[in-house]
Chains A and B, each alone.
Chain A
Amino acid sequence: DIVVTQSPDSLAVSLGERATINCKSSQSVLYSFKNKNYLAWYQQKQGQPPKLLISWASTRESGVPDRFSGSGSGSDFTLTISSLQAEDVAVYYCQQYYNTPPTFGGGTKVEIK
């Protein structure tokens, strides 16, 4: 199974400042033939189901604010919130879907400083 590791476990960022979350997979999730990274980012607010923010490592879902961006390739990835808003307080998960079983990182809790 591919192990997905996120860091940090939590971070506190001031409103309007940048938040950066890292995600590392135990093997590459880049499918070279298609030149696609099989990695997604989800946001889960308290008491709500997860919401898909980004797929294919960097493709934002429709309706997701452009302050959210995904980057990286192979086995190292980053989710960046360029200017943190109060409504961004949540736990963020990365997930690989390169193979079965699909696996999630442990989550990163983002709070306001």
Chain B
Amino acid sequence: EVQLVESGEDLVQPGGSLRLSCAASGFTFTNYAMSWVRQAPGRGLEWVSSIDGSGSSTYYVDSVKGRFTISRDNSKSTLYLQMDSLRAEDSAIYYCAKIDSGSFLAAFHIWGQGTMVTVSS
């Protein structure tokens, strides 16, 4: 069974840092691009970042460029999101999602349950 399990939920102060993890199982991790998608409370879905299967290509939404870093460890089948200089508007549930392809141009096929990030003083 394909499964994605996020971790890293926390309450952090503005300007702080946090690293999210997503453990993948049930598929050949290195063959698929992966993404982070977030959802602020009561709001819609917003794509945050994607990384290709090898980890050599990454993309970010403009609002997090220079602050967030996506990475992956294919030996551990794990996806990461390093979040620095956090702002209140980054508060959201962060979902890890498997892209249905090795490239970025495909749907988000499988989603994790999400992990909550709260940025507040």
Contact surface of A with B, Cβ cutoff 8 Å: 38, 40, 42, 44, 49-52, 55-56, 61, 93, 95, 97-107
Interface size on B, residues (CB 8 A): 22
Q: Is the CB–CB distance between B106 and A93 below 8 Å?
A: no
- What are the interface flags for B80-121 relative to A under an 8 Å C-beta threshold, 1 for contact and 0 otherwise? 000000000000000100001000111111111110000000
Q: Is the CB–CB distance between B104 and A49 below 8 Å?
A: no
In the complex, the chain B residue whose C-beta lies closest to that of A91 is: B44
The answer to the question of B71 belonging to the interface, with a C-beta cut-off of 8 Å to chain A, is no
* Interface of chain A, main secondary structure: loop
Q: Is the CB–CB distance between B108 and A40 below 8 Å?
A: yes
Partner among B59, B106, B107 whose Cβ is within 8 Å of the Cβ of A101: B59
Within the complex, what minimum Cβ distance (angstroms) separates A10 from chain B?
A: 13
Q: Which residues of A contact B45 (CB under 8 A)?
A: 42, 44, 50, 93, 95, 104, 107
* With known contacts A100-B50, A101-B59, A52–B44 Cβ distance under 8 A: no
Listed residue (A44, A61, A97, A102) with the most chain B CB atoms within 10 angstroms of its CB: A102
Q: Is the CB–CB distance between A49 and B44 below 8 Å?
A: no
Docked complex Cα distance between A93 and B37 (Å): 13
Within the complex, what minimum Cβ distance (angstroms) separates B20 from chain A?
A: 15
In the complex, the chain B residue whose C-beta lies closest to that of A106 is: B44
Q: Is the CB–CB distance between A99 and B47 below 8 Å?
A: no
